[in-house]
Every structure is written in C-alpha cells, then in structure tokens.
Structure 1
Amino acid sequence: MAENRQGHGPGGGPGRHGYQKPKNLRGTLGKLLQYLGKYRAVLLVVVFLLVVSSACTVGGSYLIKPLINDYILPGDFPGLVKMLALMGGVYVTGALCSFGYARIMVHVAQNTVSRIRAELFDKMQSLPLQYFDTHTHGELMSRYTNDIETVSEALNNSFGSLVSCSLNFLGTIAMMIVLSPILTGVTVVMLGVMLGVVKVIGGRSRRYFAAQQKAIGAVNGYIEEMIEGQKVIKVFNHEAAAKEGFGALNETYRRSATRAQAYSGAMMPAMGNLSHVNYALTCCIGGLLAIRTGDLGGLAAFLNYTKQVSQPVTQISQQVNTILAAVAGAERVFEVMEAAPELDAGKTTLTRVTEKRDGTLAEAAFDTGAWAWKRPDGSLVPLRGDVRFDHVTFGYDERKIILHEISLFAKPGQKIAFVGSTGAGKTTITSLINRFYEIQSGTITYDGIDVREIEKDSLRRSLGVVLQDTHLFTGTVADNIRYGRLEATDEEVEAAARLAGADTFIRHLPQGYETVLSGDGGNLSQGERQLLNIARAACANPPVLILDEATSSIDTRTEKLIERGMDRLMAGRTVFVIAHRLSTVRNAKAIMVLEQGRIIERGDHEDLIEQHGRYYQLYTGQAELS
C-alpha cells in the first residue's frame, strides 16, 4: 500500500533478521526429513554405500598388520603382491562407494531443494499483502538465496560427510582397541584435548558465523534496495549517503567475516599440530611395546589409524556448523511456509452464463455470455458493478485507524473520484474493494453481495486496476498486455492497446508487439510504460475499473491524446479514480474529498466549486494536492 508501505532511505541501514541458531532444532530437522521421506529407498542405498565405504577405509588400514608381519618380514613376495592387490581392491571399492553415495545425494538434494523452493514460491502467492508490507524485499529474497542455498549445501555434502566421518571415527577407535588398548588410551587422552579445542574454537566460530550470516543478509538487502532506487538516489544527490550506509554495513560484515574465518581457519592448524603431538607420543610408546612384543605390523597399522582418527573429529565439527546453519536457514524458510495465508471464506463465485436455462425468471433473463455471481444455493445475481460502502472503518494496525465511517456508493456505470492529500486514505479505499485488507467494521457490498461472501479470485477477476507504480514483466509487449487476461487473442491485445492509445508507439518499436521488454521496461519512457499498464486493464475488460493516479506519469499532451481512449475504456463501467490532476475528474458523477480518513466534501465538480471549500481551494491552486 502506498500509504502504509515502509522503506529504508539511501543513507539508513535496513532492519534485517539475521541468521541465528535454530530455535527448534528437532522440529526443523523433522520437517526436512519429511521432504527426504520421498527418497526413503534411495537413502537406504546411500546408507549401505556409506557403511561399505567406511568399512573399506577402516579395514584397508588394518590390512597393514598382516602385510608387514606375514609377508614383508618373512620375505613372501608372491603373497605380498596378492596382499597389495587385495588392499588395492578394498580401497577402490571404498572410492567407488564414496563416489556413488555422493552422486546420489546430489540428486536427492537438488530435487528436495527444488521442491522446497517451489513450495516457498507457491506459499508466497497465497500470503496477504500485509505480509509483504511488513517484510522487506531483501529479507524475502534472502530466503531463496542464502537460506535455501545453505540447505542445498548441507544436503549435498554435509549430511553424507557427517555420517561417513562418524562411522570412520567409531570404526577407527574399535580397530585401535583391537590392536592396542594401551596406545588407544594415549590417543583417547589426546582426543579429549582435541575435543576441548574444538569446543572452544568451534563455539566462537559458530557465534561469529551467525553474525556473518546476519551481516551478509543486511548487505545483500541494502544492495538490492540501492539498485532498485538508483534513480531516486541520483535525483536527490544521495550517492554519498548511500555509500556511507553501505560502508557501515560492509564494515560490520568485514569484522564478522574476519573473526569467523580466523577461528574457522585456526581449527585445522590446531588440530593438525595436536595430531602430530599425538603421533609422536604414539610412536615413542608404541616403539617400546613393539620391541617387547615383536608386533611391528600392528604398530604400523596403529600409527596409520592415529593419523586418521583426528580427521573425522575435525570434519564432524565443521559439518555440524554447516548443518546448524542449514537448519537455521530451513527454519526461516518454514516460518514463511507456516505464515497465515490470505483468508477467503467467500462462497459466491463468478460464472459466465453459457446457455439459456428454464430456471427462475431472473436466471432466464440473462443473456448468453453474460457474467453473473453464483451464490452457494445456485441462484445467480447479475454482474452490474454496483459498489457501496456503509460506515466502513479500517486501519492497517488496529491502534491506528486510517478510514473513519466511510459511506459512499457507485451505481453501475458511474465514475467516482477521490481527491485529497497524500495519506488521506484514497488508495486504501480502492484496496478494500479488492479485499487486499479486511475492514474492522461496516460493510462493503458488490451488486448487493457483501464482498466477504465473494471468493477473492472471482472478486478480483471482475476488477481492473491501473496503478500509479507501473510494473512490467520480462517478456514481449503483447505478453505484458495479455497479463490482464491470459486467454486474450492477438486481435484483442491490439484492440486493448488501441483503446489505451498505446498502439502507435508499440508499432514503432523494433519488433512491434513482439518486442521483448526486460528490466521492468527500462527502454520505455514512464508514459509509455503507463500506457501499457492501461492497455493491460483494457485487455481484462472488467465491469469495475480502478485508476490509481493512472495518468500522473503522463505529460499533459500525451494525456490529451489518450483522453478519448480512456473515455472509451471507462464507458459503461463503474470507475473509481484517484486523481492527481483535478482536471481529469471534472466529469465524475461524484467527487469525494478526503482528509485524514474522512470524507469532508462530496458532490460533482460544479457543486464543490460552489461550496468554496477544500476542493475549491485545491482546484484554484489555493492549496496543494500532493
């Protein structure tokens, strides 16, 4: 809503919700597992491959003991060759299993993330406008970029790696105990030291990574807003303020990222050095034991396990960080999915009468092809475009009422205009007709039916809206006009463009109606974009038309050129006009003058001029209309 939307100035920092530890780890993991449940059979294959891969990794190292004791020391070289071939087969099998489960997990992860992304987008289509008024574009975009991508990374690599590392760690410890309980005790003590280091460094790393994620969300959102608002920034010479605002956010991101990466980078060197210390101690003690027992192969195998045992610990700590970040991202995605959708209890639908019926006289009176409201009991009400407000009170926030006791009516075919200062409630009234928001009290009827009883899709299909802020989609000119009614033929699209006065400039485009627009129609003038917006509404051919300052972006000369087209567009329709230029509403059946959410004057142009009130002041230039 233009009168309620909150934004961030070029010099200010946007208030973003950053990444944090998941509030409900178990619940969010449960929801993720529900998505993975579709691939239950495939995941069983993954588990099998993980087990085989880990068994090959751990078992391959154990084969060093018989390799040395039974073949190298006795000098059995034919047996040695066979043993080496066996070890090679074990490691190749492990490598193939690792490759297999990695490929399968990529397939599962991308399909799962694609489904989550699609459901998130579908959910956003069902959310009320109020949700988008209270969440910035950058914040919502971060759900698709940062949040879903962290989930994708975790599913691709982290979950499989976590299971694999855990199996390797447990298998390695078990084999170390089998080989030498004494040396295992030394290793366990060193692992305790390593875990303490992981806890200290990992805890700080997680904290700073959370701050980093929060900072990057703020930076990305700020950049998006600045790119969208470049024209405003340049118009008001706010480049310096924009750079200052970005500099502050960028510095916060730099500090957080530096600390996060510093602690993250310290993990591997610390663990590596502790592993070397552990290896040295094991060599010294193990050497003494080997001299006494003569088990040189067992010592070699144990030393190999010693080098391996710390790697899973380090990797597990890193994967846990990634998974926690992914769960936090998934939690934010699920918060959107679980947001309350736009409520719609309406049962009355819009239907087209396809044939004469032998029903009631009212039903039999309908012309074939006419539109009508179909009530739950099956009765039909003709679609005429009669809109009435009866003591309507509304506020976006119940503590701050925007409209106070608004009563008005528009009979079929009448043109009703709203004038008044910015924030007076003009756009809000038209948004209530669409049921973008629910009123606190009073009633709004459409052809005698309370709009709350009409299905929202049907209600909005019968309304055409031309907004002040134009928005064109990537596609051809014809596609953008056809957005008003997707089944419209090429002839109907061209007729709508002629009606809006857009046909002439469209035919001068490089490919005419097939010219591809991108960047919100950046290669068109503001007036041309607005003409396409008007043509889109004409293509919809609605019985009720809402013009929200539709010609405010068009110069006076262009406005006069399309005035007859606009008159043809409005002919026979109920029209609500929010006026920027009072000259455009002189022929309105009724003009409502609003101030602070109240209608302070009403009547046609001549009546209001004679009253010498607020409208007279606005029309004669004694007061400003903004």
Structure 2
Amino acid sequence: MAKSKEERVTKNRHLKRFYYTVDHAVEKPFNWQQLWRLLVYLKPYATTYLPGAIIAMLVSTAVRLVVPILIGKVAIDVAISNKDTNLLTYLVIGIGILYLLNYIGNIFRIKWVNILGQNVIYDLRRHLFSHVQRLSHRFFDSRSAGSILVRIMNDINSLQELFTNGIINLLMDVVTLAGIVVILLVLSPKLALAIMVVIPIMFYISTKLRRTIRRAWQNTRIQQSRLNSHLNESIQGIRITQSFTQEKENEQFFDGINSDNFESWQIATKKSALFRPFVDLSNAVGTIILITYGAYLILQGPENGGIEIGTFVSFAFFLGMFWEPISRLGQMYNQLLMAMASSERIFEFLDEQPNVEERANAFEFADMKGHIEFDHVQFSYDVERIALHEVSLDIKAGETIALVGHTGSGKSTIANLISRFYDPTKGTVRIDGHDLRDVKLDSLRQQISVVLQDTFIFSGTIMENIRFGRPDAADEEVIEAAKVVGADEFIQRLANGYETEVEERGNILSAGERQLLSFARALLANPRILILDEATASIDTETEVKIQAALRRLLKGRTAIIIAHRLSTIRESDTIFVLQQGKILEYGNHEQLMKSRGEYFELVKSQFQMLDAI
C-alpha cells in the first residue's frame, strides 16, 4: 500500500540521522555561457551531420510557412473567388509536392539529429570518464562510487534529449516564429499586433517560473544521486547486511531515500507543468482576439483598411502554428532547465583538477633503479589529523624494507606517497634523486606494482586479470607468472582454466586465490618497486608456505616495501621500520630489533602469545 506524504515525512525524519551526504547543490546562476560550453561538443560535427540537419529543418519549415499563404491568399482570394479551377488544380498538386518535400526533409532531419545527438553523448561521457580516471585520490576520498556513477550515467543521459532533438527543434521553432511574425505583419499589421499583445505577459510569467523550476530539477538530481549511492553501497555490502540480519532496517533506510527521490520528482514535475497551461491560455486569448477583431476587419473590407477572407484564413492557420512552437519552446525551456541542472553537476567534475598535478616537461623514468628517499616528510589527510611527522627514510635500490606498527601509524600513507597518490604536506619524496613532483605520473606508476590485502578482481577471464598490469604480455608469459607464484595449480583445476570467467570482484574465488592472482599480476608487470600492503593477510598458513619461495623470486632485484603484521613475512627484510602515530620509533633488521627489546619486540611477543592462546 502506498504511504501517505505524512508517513513518508515521519520516516524521513526518523532516518535523518543515518544520512551521509553524497552530493550537494551547485548554486550557479543560469547563464547562456553554460549552454555554449555544452555546444562545444557539437564542434566535431559542424561540417557533417549538423549542416545537413539544419538544411533539412529549413526546408520543412519553409514548406510549413508557404502552404497557409497559398491556401488563404491564392486558393481562396484568387482561385475560388474567380472560380479558376485550373489554378486551383495546380495549387492542389503544388501543395501535395510541397508536403512530400516536407516529409523527406523530416526523415533526414530526424535521422541526422539522432546520429548527431548520440555522437555528442558518447563524446561527453567518454570525456567525463577519462577525466575522472585522472583525478587524485582526495577526490574519491570525499565522494561515494554511487554519486560518481550518477554523474557519468544519469546526468549525461538527461542531456540526450537536448542534443538529439532539442537544439534542432529550438532552431526550427525560432525560425518558424520569426517567419510567422514577419508574414502576419505583412498580411495585416493591425491584426498581427492585436494577437501578439499576450506574448510579453507570457514571457514575464515564464521568467518568474524559471528560477524555481531550475532549483527543483537540480534537487531531483541530488536526490537521485543519493539513491544510487545507497543502492551501490547496499549491493556491495549485502553479505554484511544478511550476516547481521539488518534487511528490515536497510529496507526502511532505502524507503526513506526513495521517498525523498519520489517527492523531489513530484515537486519538479508540478512546477514544470505550470508552464503549459499559460501557453494554452495565451492560445485561447489569441483565438478570441482573432475571431473578434478579425471579423470586424472583414466587415470593414480591404478598401477601408480591413482584410479579405483569405487573409483571415491564413491568420487562422498561422495562429495554430504560432502557439505550437511557443508551447514547444516552453517544453524546451523546461528541458533546458533539466539539462542545465545536470550540466552543472557534470562540469563540476570536469572543473575538478587533480590535487596531484603533473608539471610541464616533467621528467620521465626510462630506467628506474628504485632508490627511495623520504626527506623530512609530513603529510595530513585533513587539517585536524597529521598522518606523518617529519619522516625520513633512505631505501636503497633492490632493498627490501618492512613497515610495522599499529593501525593508523602511517604505514599505508608512506606507500601512497611513493606511488604519488598524494603529495607531501611538507618535505620531499624522491626516487633515484628525482622529486616525485617533477616526475611524469605514468612513467612513475608503470614502474610500481601495489598488492593490497583486499585485491580487486575485474569481471573477465583469469588470463585477462593477470594480464591487467601488462596488456601486451603473451599468454605464455601470463602462465609463467602464475606458475612462479603458485597460482597455476588452482587455475588448472577450474572448469576452463585460464579462460574461466570470474564474477564481479572475483566472487567465485577464495580470498587466498584472489591474492595469488594479484601476485601473478604484479610479477607480470615487472616493476622496479613493489609494495605489498598486508598482501599475505588473507592467505592461509599452508598457502603462505607455498608462496614464500615465490615471494623471494618476486622481490629479487626489486625495491620492496612490505606492510605486514606476520613475522614470517617481514623477518627477512633488510630493514624493519616501526611506526607509531606517524613517527619512526625504531628501525633495524629482525635480530637487531629483537635485541633492543623495544616496540618491535613487544609486537612480536604479543603475536606469539596470541598463537599460544590459540
């Protein structure tokens, strides 16, 4: 049963405390500059589909303007008045030919504008997606995947009607209106001015409605973004939801967000619907003026400044044609407001610049050695929380170091700075003596492989997932990488081996199997720097034993940063750095740190105590 508005509002208030704001209103004044910015995407087609669509539109518009004149001024005032059947016959044939020409013009106009619109939407979506992919991690830290998805899909889809029909229809309606006004003024200036007296009133009212309609559609986009964001989160977390039997609460939360979305669409639709009745009212007023004042002018006769019956008939034709484009322009205006609300949100992303900028003429690594230096590096994710305090490190090329410490001590932050996902707040990170802020990002990241605890498996085959780090690798190289890390054994047991299709996020594989694939992926990429961020945490003891030798092969000749808690993973590292609250507390190899009996000793001790307890 549908809930009343009061019930939905009550539920929304109850659920208000759960809201996580995934989007916000973009308060920008409506301006034509925004529209021109969208029209730039038409430029690649300015010499192909666009001219053809405009020519076809002009042909069909010209036919529509000529026919009422032929019927009123020629057919009625000349042919019928003089009983000239030959002229009447020629007129019928001529009008038939004109309508056929109009039909052909409309076919090509519809065909070309749809091709044009789909190409523009394709280009715009590709541009937005490419831009988002290049943005820094800070951008994604503050936005949910659902809100980004809405911009790339829903907001761009809302521009589809504007580009496929809106722009050409706008030109057609403007040309039609201009032609009708000129023709009416030529036929009878007095009657034309009397009919058009309602236009300024309608224009004034539409201007007043503009702001409220635009804000309503903008709010609708925001609510839709929140709905999509929650859906994305709910689907990804469905196992947790079911594990804690929170299905009912999740449904209530969804109902609250869905109600907000429902109400925002209702409000926007109601406000947009106000425009059409004003157009219909103007049409009614214009018709009354035509009948009343037009009849008066007919009775006066042409000799006394009046009009002929044919002129009145032409006016009647043109009056119907006059309000039709005005009505469409009203709908187009609402469509434009929706498009502007979406375009503001799209351009908000396109205007977003990466926090990690690539300088002009940046240095490009041709043969990286892998010597990493942290020179008094300080980093903050926000002003209230400093993640690293004046950290200095010197990691020689080919050296394996380990970072240990409690959660939040800064281990993953160091890994993020090496990959230059963020820039230091203070200090410098160098590789082979080059400040990373002066290095080309692609050349840096192509030399670094990161293996995470929660490895990401893409939809596709096992072969494609391993090859992700080096798309040009041969099948034999992929298989060899899998054999080295011990993944070949379980892959061969799968139904289709390396061609087995894995589901979203690799759900058909165990956590350990996914991790082995990530090792194979990293090995195939052949990086100079390898970062293992809790990479063996999801692997069982038996599997871990199998990959220890593989790890030695993987790390050989490479600079490696290992973030781990397991003693077996880090004890063979050349240097172990113990971090606490963003500072290096102590460092040395395993034997040295155990002898000093400091924080590392306590960490190892607590780990063995946990094992004994088990």
Q: TM-score range by the shorter chain?
A: 0.7 to 0.9
Question: CA contact under 8 A between 1:470 and 1:529: conserved in structure 2?
Answer: yes
In structure 2, relative to structure 1, the CA distance for the partners of 1:614 and 1:15 (3 Å cut) is: same
Measure the CA separation in 1 of the matches of 2:572 and 2:266: 65
**Equivalent residue for 1:39?**
45
User: How far is the alpha carbon of 1:428 from its aligned partner?
Assistant: 0.7
**Equivalent residue for 2:505?**
520
Question: Which one of 19, 42, 55 corresponds to residue 13 of structure 1?
Answer: 19
User: TM-score, length-normalised on structure 1?
Assistant: 0.85
- Say yes or no: does 1:287 pair with 2:295: yes
Question: CA contact under 8 A between 2:272 and 2:334: conserved in structure 1?
Answer: no
Measure the CA separation in 1 of the matches of 2:559 and 2:310: 94
User: How far is the alpha carbon of 1:579 from its aligned partner?
Assistant: 0.8
Question: CA contact under 8 A between 1:547 and 1:577: conserved in structure 2?
Answer: yes
Question: CA contact under 8 A between 1:414 and 1:573: conserved in structure 2?
Answer: yes
Q: Which amino acid aligns with 2:57?
A: L
Question: CA contact under 8 A between 2:451 and 2:519: conserved in structure 1?
Answer: yes
Measure the CA separation in 2 of the matches of 1:55 and 1:498: 73
Question: Which one of 171, 184, 194 corresponds to residue 192 of structure 2?
Answer: 184
Question: CA contact under 8 A between 1:618 and 1:624: conserved in structure 2?
Answer: no
User: How far is the alpha carbon of 1:202 from its aligned partner?
Assistant: 5.2
Measure the CA separation in 1 of the matches of 2:247 and 2:506: 24
- Say yes or no: does 1:556 pair with 2:541: yes
Matches within 5 A, 1:243-392: 243-293=251-301, 295-341=308-354, 342-345=356-359, 347-351=362-366, 372-373=367-368, 383=369, 385-392=370-377
User: How far is the alpha carbon of 1:416 from its aligned partner?
Assistant: 1.6
Matches within 5 A, 1:231-242: 231-242=239-250
**Equivalent residue for 2:229?**
221
Question: Which one of 31, 36, 56 corresponds to residue 49 of structure 1?
Answer: 56
**Equivalent residue for 2:606?**
621
Measure the CA separation in 2 of the matches of 1:165 and 1:447: 64
User: How far is the alpha carbon of 1:404 from its aligned partner?
Assistant: 0.8
Question: Which one of 454, 459, 465 corresponds to residue 474 of structure 1?
Answer: 459
**Equivalent residue for 1:120?**
128
Q: Which amino acid aligns with 1:135?
A: R
Question: CA contact under 8 A between 2:506 and 2:514: conserved in structure 1?
Answer: yes
**Equivalent residue for 2:180?**
172
In structure 2, relative to structure 1, the CA distance for the partners of 1:328 and 1:593 (3 Å cut) is: same
Question: Which one of 408, 420, 424 corresponds to residue 405 of structure 2?
Answer: 420
Question: CA contact under 8 A between 1:14 and 1:222: conserved in structure 2?
Answer: no
Question: Which one of 211, 215, 232 corresponds to residue 219 of structure 2?
Answer: 211
In structure 2, relative to structure 1, the CA distance for the partners of 1:30 and 1:292 (3 Å cut) is: closer
Measure the CA separation in 2 of the matches of 1:93 and 1:163: 19
Q: Deviations over 1:193-228 (max 9, x none)?
A: 444554455554333222222222222222223223
User: How far is the alpha carbon of 1:167 from its aligned partner?
Assistant: 1.6
Give secondary structure in 2 for the equivalent of 1:577. Answer: strand
**Equivalent residue for 1:361?**
none
Q: Which amino acid aligns with 2:43?
A: G
Measure the CA separation in 2 of the matches of 1:619 and 1:310: 83
User: How far is the alpha carbon of 1:254 from its aligned partner?
Assistant: 1.3
Question: Which one of 401, 419, 431 corresponds to residue 386 of structure 2?
Answer: 401
**Equivalent residue for 2:69?**
62
**Equivalent residue for 2:304?**
none
- Say yes or no: does 1:27 pair with 2:38: no
Give secondary structure in 1 for the equivalent of 2:480. Answer: helix
**Equivalent residue for 2:170?**
162
Q: Deviations over 1:586-606 (max 9, x none)?
A: 333332222210122323334
Question: CA contact under 8 A between 2:26 and 2:345: conserved in structure 1?
Answer: no
Query: Which piece of structure 1 moves more, 601-610 or 470-479?
Result: 601-610
Measure the CA separation in 2 of the matches of 1:391 and 1:196: 64
In structure 2, relative to structure 1, the CA distance for the partners of 1:260 and 1:449 (3 Å cut) is: closer
In structure 2, relative to structure 1, the CA distance for the partners of 1:266 and 1:441 (3 Å cut) is: closer
Q: Which amino acid aligns with 2:357?
A: L
Q: Which amino acid aligns with 1:39?
A: Y
Matches within 5 A, 1:448-459: 448-459=433-444
In structure 2, relative to structure 1, the CA distance for the partners of 1:39 and 1:445 (3 Å cut) is: closer
Question: CA contact under 8 A between 1:432 and 1:439: conserved in structure 2?
Answer: yes
**Equivalent residue for 2:5?**
none
**Equivalent residue for 1:5?**
none
Structure 1: tracts of 5 or more residues without a match: 1-8, 352-371, 374-382
Give secondary structure in 1 for the equivalent of 2:505. Answer: coil
User: How far is the alpha carbon of 1:347 from its aligned partner?
Assistant: 4.9
Give secondary structure in 2 for the equivalent of 1:488. Answer: coil
Measure the CA separation in 1 of the matches of 2:537 and 2:415: 17
Measure the CA separation in 1 of the matches of 2:65 and 2:24: 41
Give secondary structure in 2 for the equivalent of 1:41. Answer: coil
Question: CA contact under 8 A between 1:548 and 1:578: conserved in structure 2?
Answer: yes
Q: Which amino acid aligns with 2:114?
A: V
Give secondary structure in 2 for the equivalent of 1:97. Answer: helix
**Equivalent residue for 1:537?**
522
Q: Which amino acid aligns with 2:196?
A: V
Query: Which piece of structure 1 moves more, 449-458 or 460-469?
Result: 449-458
Percentage of matched positions with identical amino acids? 35
Q: Which amino acid aligns with 2:225?
A: G
Q: Which amino acid aligns with 2:106?
A: S
**Equivalent residue for 2:137?**
129
Q: Deviations over 1:222-251 (max 9, x none)?
A: 222322332333344443443333222222
In structure 2, relative to structure 1, the CA distance for the partners of 1:204 and 1:396 (3 Å cut) is: closer
Measure the CA separation in 2 of the matches of 1:337 and 1:465: 28
Measure the CA separation in 1 of the matches of 2:180 and 2:27: 31
Question: CA contact under 8 A between 1:498 and 1:565: conserved in structure 2?
Answer: no
Question: CA contact under 8 A between 2:218 and 2:342: conserved in structure 1?
Answer: no
Measure the CA separation in 2 of the matches of 1:18 and 1:89: 55
Structure 2: tracts of 5 or more residues without a match: 1-14, 302-306
Q: Deviations over 1:557-611 (max 9, x none)?
A: 3223323322332234332111143443233333222221012232333443444
In structure 2, relative to structure 1, the CA distance for the partners of 1:494 and 1:227 (3 Å cut) is: same
Measure the CA separation in 1 of the matches of 2:183 and 2:581: 80
Question: CA contact under 8 A between 1:494 and 1:503: conserved in structure 2?
Answer: yes
User: How far is the alpha carbon of 1:454 from its aligned partner?
Assistant: 4.2
**Number of equivalent positions:** 587
Question: CA contact under 8 A between 1:202 and 1:263: conserved in structure 2?
Answer: no
Measure the CA separation in 1 of the matches of 2:340 and 2:278: 27
Measure the CA separation in 2 of the matches of 1:15 and 1:541: 41
User: How far is the alpha carbon of 1:103 from its aligned partner?
Assistant: 2.4
Give secondary structure in 2 for the equivalent of 1:602. Answer: strand
Question: CA contact under 8 A between 1:21 and 1:328: conserved in structure 2?
Answer: no
Question: CA contact under 8 A between 1:417 and 1:590: conserved in structure 2?
Answer: yes
User: TM-score, length-normalised on structure 2?
Assistant: 0.87
Measure the CA separation in 2 of the matches of 1:201 and 1:461: 54
